[in-house]
Amino acid sequence: MIAGFRDRLERSLGNALAGLMAVLLVLVLANVAARYLFRTGFLGQEELAIWLHLALIALAIPLAYRGPLSMRFDVLRRWLPASFATTFDVAADAVSVTAGLALVNGALSSISAIGGVSPTLGLPEWIRFSFFVTGGVLLLAMLCCDRVLTGRIGGLFVSLVIAGLLYGSSKIATVDSDWPPSLFMALIAGVGLLVSAPLAHAFLAAACFAPLFGGVLPEPALVSSAINGMSRFLLLSIPFFLLAGALLTVSGTAERLVTFAASLVGHRKGGLAQTVLLTSVIFSGASGSSVANAAFGASTFQPQLVKNGYPPAQAGAIIAASSVLDNVIPPSIAFLLLAAATNLSVGSLLTGGFFAGGLMALCLAIAISLSVKAGPPMQKASTRQRWSAARSAIPAFGLGIIVVAGIRFGIVTPTEAAALAAGFTLLLSFAARSASSRIWSCFRQSALEAGAIGLLIGSAAPFAFLLAVDGVAASLTDIVHSLGSSPVLVLLMANLVLLVAGLVLDIGAAILLLGPILVPAAAAAGLDPIHFGVILVVNLMIHGLTPPLGMLIYVVSGVTSVPASQLFRAVLPYLAALLVSVFLLCLGTLLF
């Protein structure tokens, strides 16, 4: 009975997510068509799209708490003896339950207090908050079902008791301290991460304890801050880019990109590895997601690399290192997050990403050439074969032109460009009849991934608010002035901060938390904020390859079954090459 309920709930939520994604795509594309064909638009279209995106994020909450999308920091759990596993599971579930309670009670409190209607939609404002009441309740229901079905009823009971006691104490107790509340919040979130709780849940659970230490963030304000952090039209570009990347793969267009890349560099030393790199460069213009490219590359290239004599760990390391480029070369979800957090120009950041990505690709190509010893080069393609491969890859090139040119020349907004990219790849998928049966699953999976990212963005918003209230940004600015506002020292300090943060924070969370602090500090020192923003993203993206989080390493490990510890060792030469590119970017920023 419980298993049937859970399965029906999963199917229903998955279909609802796919349906919301489809409605969002039609809504944005219809508005673009109306503007350019009929010189008009739909009143309230932007706000309606934001509300639908909030509903998508809320419905993804109960599905994204498990698996890779939960973004759990499970290194400590795997290092300790197996006897500790149950303790970690109980503690992680307690954090998730606390986050669910904070969402439900905070949203209900906001509903009871909020008034008014949307000026463009004419709908009551409380509807937005009701989405997260639903999401929080479904999260608790899904977690309980999973634990009962796996026979962990005792552990579930303990988790519920611990969460209830902690949550209740946070409402009635106070702690006097001279330390800023944001520091306590960071420590509590860190404990949540250490016990392998989902990253977004750790942030939400920590935020609900802020008033305990004097933080000016009561529970309704916590949920309101999180929802406001997700309520940006720019963020809708994330689900559309994820959908474009998924459809590009199922339509077969991605394979044609591989063929084109192989025709150009396959004959060189380490030709197959160079093909992986060049494919990542080209594929970057379509997916905008390093995780998507890592999964694609691991499933597509790993068997071929091993078959041609590459050690499995080295093959996986090359794939993971090449995937870093996808969030640097436009379109880049990381740059979209930075623009949303700092109000920097999206077009300027994407342009900077082109140059940075090219430099990183060059450094990786040299590292591959020096490190690869296995695998004979592929046969050199003739000019005719290269032209044939180029013609077959034209649809993918068109996708990159739509996105980058459309944003850079102001023809469409980033969100509209992403929707056009998704619509374009949808047509390619329909044209490839073999892909038709998988289109709905692409919508469902992309919506789920976008919901997980959206929740992370929202959960980081209360933390960013407390950092601002506690004057962390002002403190960093004071440090800058104490250094004499030297660009060299500021760059050095910023890179050290990013180095440490990247080791313990998810890339998206680090951008959202540190971007609003470090970018103004860099500007105060006379550094170009766009150049610095590019360095910030590149620096953090490299941490997709470093322990303990190393998201790209774990994605490749999960697909290829190569132990993550082996991949971390094998990726060192390519990690060094990427660090050289960061040094060159910093040098260029200082000189120009």
In this predicted model, what pLDDT tens digit does every residue of 221-269 receive, in sequence order? Answer: 778 888 888 888 777 877 887 788 778 778 777 677 667 766 776 666 6
Q: What is the DSSP string of 10-78?
A: HHHHHHHHHHHHHHHHHHHHHHHHHHHHSS---TTHHHHHHHHHHHHHHHHHHHHTSSGGG-B--HHHH
- Asked if residue 333 and residue 290 are part of one domain, the reply reads yes
**Sign of CA pseudo-dihedral 407, 413, 414, 419:** negative
Q: Kindly state the helix (H) or strand (E) to which residue 461 belongs, with its residue range.
A: helix 439-469
pLDDT in the model for residue 136: 92
Q: What is the pLDDT of residues 506-555, one digit of tens each?
A: 677 678 778 888 888 888 888 899 999 999 999 888 888 887 667 778 76
Name which of 111-125, 270-284, 463-477 the model is least confident about: 463-477
Angle at 230 between CA 199 and CA 243, to 5 degrees: 80
pLDDT band at 296 (very low <50, low <70, confident <90, very high): low
Write down which residue in 178, 212, 230 finishes a domain: 230
What is the residue-averaged pLDDT of the chain? 81
- Asked if residue 261 and residue 224 are part of one domain, the reply reads no
φ and ψ of 50, to 5 deg: -65, -45
Flag whether 455 is in a domain. Answer: no
In 208-345, alpha helices (H): 219-230, 237-250, 253-265, 271-287, 290-300, 302-307, 312-323, 333-342
- Asked if residue 271 and residue 192 are part of one domain, the reply reads no
Residue 360 has pLDDT above 90, yes or no: yes
- Asked if residue 96 and residue 28 are part of one domain, the reply reads yes
* Bond into 548 cis (ω within 30): yes
Half-sphere exposure of 47 (CA within 13 A, CB side): 13
Three-state DSSP class for residue 124:
strand
Flag whether 150 is in a domain. Answer: yes
Instruction: Tell which residue, 235, 236, 251, has the closest CA to residue 25.
Output: 236
Return all residues near 161 (Cβ < 8 A) that are at least 6 apart: none
Flag whether 443 is in a domain. Answer: no
φ and ψ of 561, to 5 deg: 70, 15
Residue whose tokens read 């559309």: 240
pTM score: 0.78
Q: Which structural domain, as residue segments, surrounds residue 89? A: 2-230
Flag whether 94 is in a domain. Answer: yes
Flag whether 441 is in a domain. Answer: no
- Asked if residue 512 and residue 542 are part of one domain, the reply reads yes
Domain count, the chain: 2
Q: What is the pLDDT of residues 395-418, one digit of tens each?
A: 766 666 766 677 666 677 778 887
- Asked if residue 177 and residue 270 are part of one domain, the reply reads no
- Asked if residue 285 and residue 203 are part of one domain, the reply reads no
- Asked if residue 256 and residue 130 are part of one domain, the reply reads no
- Asked if residue 125 and residue 57 are part of one domain, the reply reads yes
pLDDT top residue among 129 and 288: 129
Write down which residue in 199, 230, 261 finishes a domain: 230
Name which of 56-65, 346-355, 373-382, 413-422 the model is least confident about: 373-382
pLDDT in the model for residue 460: 77
- Asked if residue 353 and residue 221 are part of one domain, the reply reads no
Flag whether 463 is in a domain. Answer: no
CA distances from 551 to 472, 485, 490 (A): 28, 35, 28
207, 185 contact by CB (below 8 A): yes
Residue whose tokens read 């989405």: 131
- Asked if residue 218 and residue 84 are part of one domain, the reply reads yes
Q: What is the pLDDT of residues 479-489, one digit of tens each?
A: 656 665 678 88
CB atoms within 10 A of CB 121: 16
Write down which residue in 172, 201, 230 finishes a domain: 230
Flag whether 394 is in a domain. Answer: yes
Flag whether 253 is in a domain. Answer: yes
Both structure tokens of 380: 């050199």
- Asked if residue 224 and residue 278 are part of one domain, the reply reads no
